[in-house]
Amino acid sequence: MKGRDSVDKIRWGVLGAGGIADRRTLPGMMKAENAQLVAVMEVAAAEAERLRVKYSAKRAYTREEALLSDPEVDAVYIASPVAFHARQIRLAADRGKHILVEKPLALSADEGQEVVQYCHKQGARIAAGLMMRFGGYVMAMKQAVARGSIGSLVSCGAQFTCWYPDIPGSWRQSRKSAGGGALMDMGVHCIDLIQYISGSRVRQVSAFNDTLTFGYEVEDSSMVLLRLDNGAMGMVQTNFNIPDEAAKWRLEFFGTNGRLLGDSVIGQVDGGSVDALFVGRTGGYDARQDVKRVEPVPLEAALGDMYAREIESFGHSILMGTPLEVPAEDAIQVQRVVEAAYRSSRDKRVIEF
């Protein structure tokens, strides 16, 4: 950021400005107070120009090297197919750009670790696009667990599904370009949120992964069982073969003193609701199981644009030198859990860390 008169905004370039960037992240960037969009890049010139006009960027590029050589760009958001991430991250670090990259960072956790170490060597800061951490109810659930509102955590789970039929040429349906299917694409968010909210990491994994409905090579169905460092047990279900109309997106935590049942609190839009129940001190065993009625407590949450919060958080860390809220190392650790789930399903065994 040399030669600037003001450092109150991060000047952004976007690689792979279509797709999720166009649908969610760029609109969020427009709301972020400490962000200014300078350049967008898409391979097709007409698409690059369309995005430039839509978001009032200064320049449009069709080559990643050209955008990364732009002296006005301080940081780059990478939303290209996973297979391109590692190379683009290195190119960005070589040119002194800070990096926010969509998950997963690379096709393998080992490759992701290599590029993160490369960024550190080059002095570039790198964060992962696990934007669901910035959801209002997600943050409220994390605070409730941390203050002991549900007691000691014993069980947790997440369910995240969609309908994703065979699409010719889709990079997400190819193992070579995506690294995996429903678990890699959606399950990473679930695993990350379970760890983030609980404050405890996964230490055991057992899983089933299969392609039950469609013809592509990555899994369209996944069920993962987890054990956390604190002993709690968890479950993550992800599917590409459940109709959107039938889908239920859940995030749930049960403890010795209560529960948090999140309905539609995950996804690309900040919303949903949390059925929070805190029973306080529990008594002895009731053989009759005559459940005493306890009224749910409204869980307050400040809803907003997760993508705007993500961009602002990253920008604040760059401008102020504060720790990143979603360091790339967290995404690598989650990817190791995902890779363990694939090994568990293949080898029919429990994987321990």
Give phi and psi for 332, each to the nearest 5: -65, -45
Four-residue CA torsion sign, 171, 313, 198, 245 = negative
d(CA 297, CA 299): 6
Q: 149 and 32 share a domain?
A: no
Q: 212 and 65 share a domain?
A: no
Which of 81, 109, 128 represents a domain boundary (last residue)?
A: 128
Q: 40 and 61 share a domain?
A: yes
Q: 102 and 210 share a domain?
A: no
Q: 266 and 167 share a domain?
A: yes
Q: 145 and 102 share a domain?
A: no
Predicted structure pTM score: 0.94
d(CA 238, CA 129): 19
Which of 61, 95, 128 represents a domain boundary (last residue)?
A: 128
Residue 161, CA distances (Å) to 47, 173, 247, 337 in order: 30, 15, 6, 19
Q: What is the CATH number of the domain that holds 237?
A: 3.30.360.10
Q: 157 and 270 share a domain?
A: yes
Q: For the chain, count helices (H), then strands (E).
A: 12, 14
Q: Two tokens at 92?
A: 């960005």
Q: What is the CATH number of the domain that holds 53?
A: 3.40.50.720
**Containing domain of residue 41, as a range?**
10-128
d(CA 164, CA 214): 9
Close Cβ partners of 251 (under 8 Å, ≥ 6 residues apart): 138, 141, 157, 158, 190, 193, 197, 262, 265, 266
Q: 113 and 146 share a domain?
A: no
Residue pLDDT tens, the chain, 353 long: 444 444 699 999 999 999 999 999 999 999 999 999 999 999 999 999 999 999 999 999 999 999 999 999 999 999 999 999 999 999 999 999 999 999 999 999 999 999 999 999 999 999 999 999 999 999 999 999 999 999 999 999 999 999 999 999 999 999 999 999 999 999 999 999 999 999 999 999 999 999 999 999 999 999 999 999 999 999 999 999 999 999 999 999 999 999 999 999 999 999 999 999 999 766 666 656 666 677 778 899 999 999 999 999 999 999 999 999 999 999 999 999 999 999 999 999 999 99
Number of domains in the chain: 2
Q: Two tokens at 27?
A: 């609109």
Which of 95, 110, 128 represents a domain boundary (last residue)?
A: 128
Which of 351, 299, 320 has its CA nearest to residue 135?
299
Q: Are 10 and 74 in contact (CB under 8 A)?
A: yes
Q: 293 and 180 share a domain?
A: yes
Q: 343 and 209 share a domain?
A: yes
Q: 64 and 176 share a domain?
A: no
**Which residue's entry shows tokens 């978001």?**
55
Q: 181 and 286 share a domain?
A: yes
pLDDT digits (tens, 9 = 90+) for 272-331: 999 999 997 666 666 566 666 777 788 999 999 999 999 999 999 999 999 999 999 999
